[in-house]
Amino acid sequence: MSVHAFRMQLKPGVIAEYRRRHDEIWPELIRLLKEAGISDYRIFVDRGSDALFAVLTLAEPNNRDSLPLHPVMQRWWDHMAELMIVDETNRPAEWPLEQVFHLP
């Protein structure tokens, strides 16, 4: 297992809607993420900058790299695109975060 952390960026003023959509996350998306080897996925927001910070645990082996090709993932990205900074496929822009401290 490995831990991955990354940053994403919300557009201004959309945190309530972002939270609402995640409160109603699709069961098929949850299944897809778990089948890809993802667990303990958490997203935090910095309300001062609307930056999102995500942390997830990834099983080994996993198929996380196949997620962008899955129709459920593509539909979720389309559903969220108006709220976030995204690329041309509506995939949220991600900036990896480097771990600098760990207290086991």
Active site residue 102: no
How is the chain classified by DSSP, letter by letter?
-EEEEEEEEBPTT-HHHHHHHHHT--HHHHHHHHHTTEEEEEEEEETTTTEEEEEEEE-SS--GGGGGGSHHHHHHHHHHGGGB-B-TTSPBP-EE--------
Catalytic residue (one of 22, 70, 79, 102):
22
Catalytic site residues? 22
